[in-house]
Amino acid sequence: MQTKNRMPQNGADNRNRNSKRRYYTYRKASKKPGVLPPMETEKVRISFLGGMNEIGKNMTLFEYKNDMFIVDCGLAFPSAELLGVDIVIPDFTHIVNNQERIKGIIITHGHEDHIGGLAYLLKQVNVPVYATKLTIGLIKGKLEEHGLLGSVKLVEINPRDNITLGQFNIELIHVNHSIPDAVGLAIKCPAGVIIHTGDFKIDTTPVDGDMIDLTRFADYGKRGVLALMSDSTNAERPGSTMSESSVGESFEHLFRKARQKRIIVATFASNIHRVQQIMDVAAARHRKVAVVGRSLENLVSVGADLGYLNVTKGILISVDEIGSYSDDKLVIITTGSQGEPMSALTKIAMGEHKKVSITPNDYVIISATPIPGNEKMVSNVVNALMMRGVEVIYENMYDVHVSGHACQQDLKLMIGIVKPKFFIPVHGEQKHLVKHASLAQSMGIARNNIFIGDIGNCIELSKDGINQVSSVPSGEVYVDGYGVGDVGNVVLNDRKHLSRDGIIVIAATIDAASGYVVSGPDIVSRGFVFVKENEELIQSIREISENVITQQYDKRYRDWNSVKTRLRDEVTHYVFERTKRKPMILPIFMEI
């Protein structure tokens, strides 16, 4: 790995531009005298392993000849259909199959959808990880949880540094986002230059004072960019994204409006700039701050240790100390802005939190916009809070949230200064990718030079064109507790079946010599009907079960499977006729 803190000198740039022969390779010479061999254009391959046609789980593989490297390795949170699943990570099969060729992993920033799958990958493929200071700090916490901290090479890098991974040279370019130390990438190889924006916005007045490095993006645009891969999350939203600093003004207004009430602010656990502004306004109003939620506590700890969070001395208190202060002297920052069932805010709203009890003297600010699909969960939390007499500020009632992603005008500005020949929208659902592609067309990029990809697509990119060449193993791997990948479609279907219709357990003890039922059948119902109110139905199931066992049990062959199959069929048919439901039937036999 080589790093350079300085920009290349003009002489070096000229040498690179003049070294045209590096960008071509020749086929075997023709046997016919006097005929030159045809020239073959250099090509780079890109495989999309996540982040396409979905929100989250971002992961992309770049390949040139025998060298590969990975950009990001994130997770996605499970949908309502994935019962019991904790997180969703990419399928690493293609990475594992090519692990000898992987030169490293570059992480663009520290959000879960970009680092959340990293520990699971590093258990299978141990390669160096390159990231900026804060991102490395957050990654260390992940690796420590998984017992990997001492065995993985972590390399801290800075914007404008260059990393050499095989025949790739990658420069980091500072961008604004809802977390510090976010970067885009200028990926250089003999095929050309590919700009990957990472997640970005254009913030002219950022909280940390460090504006996106548009100059560097423009420098590459002047030299010539083969392709631009750009964040599509906000491609449907017109205009420009507001500055994060505007939220601080809203907090000042709302904190004054709260008067003598206790203030509870729910925000994304990773938005360190938002946390900083909440703490600054709290300090100005002489309020103490308590942080509730494990991920938020970790961010505050890492951010303060690394100097990304300026914590006024004495302002932070533990959640155990909140009882020692009056309501008008407290601000509680918590997780749960998306209404997640197990989050701190949801537990507080439902009266289930062990240390924070809600009262009508609370003033709750939800400083986030619901992610598509989470609207109902957020609404449930808001309703639960209001039913307890709490005043709630949410969604667009005030400017308490701004996005960390570029809207349409900023996306077009990026396209305009980078001037790519080819355009690949990334990071978004299909509607986001398609809308972003139409923005690129409006900026003069030909439709044939735009590729809208999907997970598993592998494309070849050269100055002559962009083509899908194959598909690579890809998809979703479910993490449930300590289990990784052991929950598949069969298990999920069983869980859905149980959640919809419940289960009936039929237990019987059979005399091994005679084949007669000596005990039972006992009927146990869970999630189907309330037994005490349906004794007639349960008794009928018991009689059917006893008849089937007596008729079907062969004491010579003891074909348990045929008896259980017939029992399931008979009971299922009877129950459906009576209830129009299809509970899972689970026979359990024991011979004595």
How far is 88 from 103, CA to CA, in rounded Å? 25
Determine the average pLDDT of the residues in 114-124. 95
Percent with pLDDT over 90 in the chain: 57
- Give mean pLDDT, residues 413-426: 97
DSSP 18: H
pLDDT at 210 over 50: yes
Residue 114 bears catalytic tag: no
More confident site: 46 or 369: 46
Residue-level pLDDT at 555: 54
pLDDT tens, position by position, 92-110? 999 999 999 999 999 999 9
Return the pLDDT at 374. 74
**Cα atoms in the Cβ-side hemisphere of radius 13 Å centred on 241:** 30
Least confident of 104-118, 211-225, 235-249, 524-538: 524-538
Question: Of the given ranges (67-81, 94-108, 367-381, 467-481), which has the lowest mean pLDDT?
Answer: 367-381
Q: Catalytic pick from 177, 196, 405, 436?
A: 405
Contacts of 512 (CB under 8 A, 6+ apart): 555, 558, 591, 592
| 174 catalytic residue (yes or no) | no
**476 strand-pairing partners:** 90
pLDDT band, very low/low/confident/very high, at 350 (cuts 50, 70, 90): very high
Judged by DSSP in three states, 109 sits in coil
- Of 545 and 203, which is predicted with more confidence? 203
d(CA 521, CA 507): 5
DSSP letter string over 390-423?
Answer: -EEE-TTSSS----SS--HHHHHHHHHHH-EEEE
Question: Looking at 37-46, 48-57, 356-365, 434-443, which range is the least confident one?
Answer: 37-46
Residue 582's pLDDT is what? Answer: 86
pLDDT reading at 313 higher than 80 = yes
From 3-12, 119-128, 293-302, the region with the lowest mean pLDDT: 3-12
Q: What is the pLDDT of residue 29?
A: 35
Q: Of the given ranges (203-207, 421-425, 441-445), which has the lowest mean pLDDT?
A: 203-207
**DSSP code of 147?**
T
Report d(CA 62, CA 458) in Å as an integer: 10
Q: What are the residues whose beta carbons fall under 8 Å from the beta carbon of 542, sequence distance 6 or more?
A: 521, 522, 523
Those residues with Cβ within 8 angstroms of residue 89's Cβ, 6 or more apart along the chain or in another chain: 57, 75, 76, 116, 117, 120, 121, 476, 477, 479, 484
CA distance 174 to 210: 9
Q: Mean pLDDT throughout 490-502?
A: 76
Residue 517 has pLDDT above 90, yes or no: no
Judge contact between 171 and 160, C-beta under 8 A: yes
* pLDDT at position 546: 83
Token pair of 92 as six digits: 């690493």
As a whole number of angstroms, the longest Cα–Cα distance in the chain is: 97
Mean pLDDT in residue range 352-365: 93
pLDDT digits (tens, 9 = 90+) for 162-201: 999 999 999 999 999 999 999 999 999 999 999 999 999 9
Q: Are 5 and 160 in contact (CB under 8 A)?
A: yes
Residues 126, 151: contact at Cβ < 8 Å? yes
Q: Which amino acid is at 177?
A: H
User: Which pLDDT value is given to residue 360?
Assistant: 95
* SS percent in the chain: helix, strand, coil, step 5: 35, 25, 40
pLDDT score of 263: 96
Q: For residue 286, how many other CB atoms are within 10 A of its CB?
A: 9
Look-up: residue for tokens 């300026």? 310
* Least confident interval from 237-241, 294-298, 430-434, 456-460: 294-298
Q: Which pairs count as long-range contacts for 204-209, CB under 8 Å and 24+ apart, including other chains? A: 204/243, 205/243, 205/245, 206/176, 206/243, 206/244, 206/245, 206/273, 207/244, 207/245, 207/248, 207/273, 207/276, 207/277, 208/180, 208/273, 208/308
What pTM value is reported for the model? 0.80
How does residue 509 score in pLDDT terms, banded at 50, 70 and 90? confident
Measured over the CA atoms of residue 408, residue 410, residue 412 and residue 414, the dihedral's sign is negative
Runs of H (alpha helix) within 443-524? 489-501
User: Is the pLDDT confidence value at 7 over 50?
Assistant: no
Q: In what order do the strands lie in the sheet with 362-366?
A: 316-317, 288-292, 330-334, 262-266, 362-366, 391-393
> 72, 181, 231, 480: which one is catalytic?
231
- Of the listed ranges 92-96, 109-113, 497-501, the least confidently predicted one is 497-501
Q: 521 preceded by cis ω (within 30°)?
A: yes
